[in-house]
Structure 1
Amino acid sequence: MSSKRSISISAVLTKEEETLREEDNSNTNPKSTFDFKSYMIHKANSVNQALDGAVSIREPRKIHEAMRYSLLAGGKRVRPMLCIAACELVGGDEPMAMPAACAVEMIHTMSLIHDDLPCMDNDDLRRGKPTNHKVFGEDVAVLAGDSLLAFAFEYLAVSTVGVAPARVIRAIGELAKSIGSEGLVAGQVVDINSEGLKDVGLEHLEFIHVHKTAALLEAAVVVDDILDVTKSSNELGKTAGKDLVADKVTYPKLIGIEQSREFAKKLNQEAQEQLSGFDQAKAAPLIALANYIAHRQN
């Protein structure tokens, strides 16, 4: 899911938008008083509670169990944190941003469920657990993803409070555009069609990542590619080396691991530069998230 769109959605709900800072902030900015670890734990807990309440067990029981299985399977909740932090940056608050944050996470989860299907990436492991279709079957997994996608828009529309209806509509439009045939789907289609191709350039790869995961999370995508090569399945929580087996187009494949890391660093710096005009105390969570994404280990 698009980080740029994620931030745009939450910012639309108040007033503007922008970017992301680190895994352990003492490593990169010892003078900072912002406690990123505490922030991340607090926000993740808030998001998890909201998601748990949003998608409850009801009839038909099996589909809701499948939705909750993947939605509540863990994860760092970076995308919803971006929504909340961006909203707070421009004068909003967490309750105002939470429905948008949850909607983004529901759609992200949908994309993971569908990505893992045998007809797509055919993966057995996600977030350290068997993938949805391995537990519930391919048919229910497809429907669980579909249900999360539909419910994301319903939840954003009916649960957002304290925001002008026109802004909610704009947020829904931004979110829909980011995942359709000119967004996430476009990136996924080009990614699938690129497997095994030998003559693929950086511009082609950039199209995949800009559309599939979006501009402001490009740094995270580059790091994902590096981790797929360098980390084990246990460390990643998903099957390592899948990109190599599928002969996927990745930054490490085209430019090597070290240059990929340099590219991630460059994107991280560019993201932080976009925050230079904002109140630095309010921007601290976004700066910390940028560093976290660029330097994360799983």
Structure 2
Amino acid sequence: MQIINLLNSGSQTKRSDITKEKNPKKARKKGLNRPIRPQFMAFSALFFSPNFALPKMFPPRPLTPKFPLLRCSSTSPAAAAAASFDLRGYWTTLLPQIESQLDAALPVRFPERIFEAMRYSVLAGGGKRAPPIMCIAACELVGGDRSAAFPTACALEMIHAASLVHDDLPCFDAAPLRRGRPSTHARFGVDMAVLAGDALFPLAFSHVVARTPRDLVPPATVLRALAEIARAVGSTGMAAGQFLDLTGAAAAGEADVVAVLEKKFGEMAECSAVCGGILGGAGEEEAEGLRRYGRAVGVLYELVDDILMADAGSNGKMRSNARAVAALGMERAMEMVGELQGKAKRELQRFGDKYGDRVLPLYSFVDYAVERGFVVEAGGEGEVAAASASASATGDGNSDIGVDGNSGPPSGE
């Protein structure tokens, strides 16, 4: 806890009060953290496309979640409208332009081997592009032009890819696979993977400076966005999360588990939402609301990933890195999912009152983090694919919102 307090004292934001302290040892004595197979897992048996042939083992039938808290409701009109919002359509509309800009930003030149590793890390098929999508949605929420956010959105994807390259290294998670493909170090060697990750970080910053439209975004605003990115990836942000994970904080008490989740996973989503808001013209109060929203969604997304992997492990499949569930117990982890959903949606209510339907993409992100009703992937050539949501339960643990370990078998994701 002393380490966590020191980290928080150097950060611009305090650790959130997302959860209430509970003792996992007492939960174990009561048998609360025994393996539970939540029925919402059955949702992953459904496919988004109506033309997709369902296997006979997964008959199409209505599903009732065992834990009602997973469908945290809100009385606001925006929350009700979000249930019918076409997030997949919104997502797939933005993906081609994101892919095109990323491809243009990563030409192969000398030294070719490093650039090939960089391109592989960023453009290899399977990425959902969640950070850039959230950034653009936050920009549009406060009335900004999406063109103002695109360069930063692409930069966030570069940083996200770099963090995954480093996270997969033998000195960290030693993951041989990423999204069902060989991880960068497995494909190009550890030396090239380190260099590729190192090169992607500064490329992201230079991309923001060079590509942000000056007629839409003042230089001072660009500097604010750059400072936000630097804070998120720095020694009190994602790097701190990696440190806490390495030192075993994820296996300690609930407060320590939450600290790891917030730093290692919440920072990327938080940064995406805040940068989008800043570039769209959000005021300080609005930016802080987006900060709290993004942090909650980032932690929520990873926690649901852990629950899905832990449940798959109880079914005889590879458990992978479901450390949060192992430390908290399944029952408490499920409770936290509901708490995080509620927190994220409450932060958006004030935006819904002011901006109306523009808040719907961010509202939909919250429910998508839990339900995974579709999987959108960017292919190697920029194409967009929709895949089975079951990949989230049986794949390699790709939260695609923060730094995540993955060592599972190849999957549809």
Same fold (TM over 0.5): yes
Distance 1:58 1:100 in 2: 23
Indicate the residue corresponding to 1:191 in structure 2. Answer: 245
Indicate the residue corresponding to 1:236 in structure 2. Answer: none
Q: Once the two structures are aligned, what percentage of the paired residues are identical?
A: 39
Distance 1:280 1:117 in 2: 44
Determine which of 332, 340, 364 is the counterpart of 1:259: 332
Residue 303 of structure 2 is aligned to residue 222 of structure 1? yes
Distance 1:142 1:105 in 2: 17
Distance 1:149 1:83 in 2: 18
Indicate the residue corresponding to 2:350 in structure 1. Answer: 277
Indicate the residue corresponding to 1:12 in structure 2. Answer: none
> CA-to-partner distance for each residue in 1:192-248, whole Å, 9 max, x for gaps?
1107x86x101111111111112231111211211332348xxxxxx953326xxxx
Indicate the residue corresponding to 2:176 in structure 1. Answer: 124
CA contact (8 A) 1:265 1:294 kept: no
Distance 1:151 1:183 in 2: 19
CA contact (8 A) 1:187 1:212 kept: yes
Indicate the residue corresponding to 1:133 in structure 2. Answer: 185
CA contact (8 A) 1:79 1:104 kept: yes
Distance 2:135 2:206 in 1: 18
Indicate the residue corresponding to 2:261 in structure 1. Answer: 209
Residue 147 of structure 2 is aligned to residue 95 of structure 1? yes
Q: CA deviation at 1:159?
A: 0.8
Distance 2:318 2:157 in 1: 23
Distance 1:31 1:221 in 2: 22
> CA-to-partner distance for each residue in 1:110-139, whole Å, 9 max, x for gaps?
111001011110011101100001110000
Indicate the residue corresponding to 1:71 in structure 2. Answer: 122
Residue 228 of structure 2 is aligned to residue 174 of structure 1? yes
Instruction: Tell me which structure has the larger Cα radius of gyration.
Output: 2
Which 5+ residue runs of structure 2 have no aligned equivalent? 1-43, 49-62, 64-70, 72-79, 267-294, 373-388, 393-413
Distance 1:231 1:60 in 2: 42
In structure 2, the CA distance between the partners of 1:242 and 1:268, relative to structure 1 (3 Å rule), is same
Please tell me the residue identity of whatever aligns with 2:109: R
**Corresponding residue pairs, total:** 261
CA contact (8 A) 1:84 1:98 kept: yes
Q: CA deviation at 1:189?
A: 0.5
Residue 103 of structure 2 is aligned to residue 52 of structure 1? yes
Distance 1:30 1:179 in 2: 34
Residue 228 of structure 2 is aligned to residue 147 of structure 1? no
Determine which of 371, 392, 402 is the counterpart of 1:295: 371
Q: CA deviation at 1:283?
A: 0.4
Distance 1:31 1:193 in 2: 40
In structure 2, the CA distance between the partners of 1:226 and 1:33, relative to structure 1 (3 Å rule), is closer
In structure 2, the CA distance between the partners of 1:194 and 1:31, relative to structure 1 (3 Å rule), is closer
CA contact (8 A) 1:209 1:221 kept: yes
CA contact (8 A) 2:83 2:364 kept: no
Please tell me the residue identity of whatever aligns with 1:160: T
Determine which of 130, 137, 144 is the counterpart of 1:85: 137
Q: Please give the residue correspondences for 1:20-35 in structure 2 after superposition, counting only pairs within 5 Å.
A: 32-35=83-86
What is the Cα-based RMSD across aligned positions, in Å? 2.2
Distance 1:36 1:123 in 2: 31
Runs (4+) of structure 1 moved beyond 6 Å? none
Indicate the residue corresponding to 2:320 in structure 1. Answer: 242
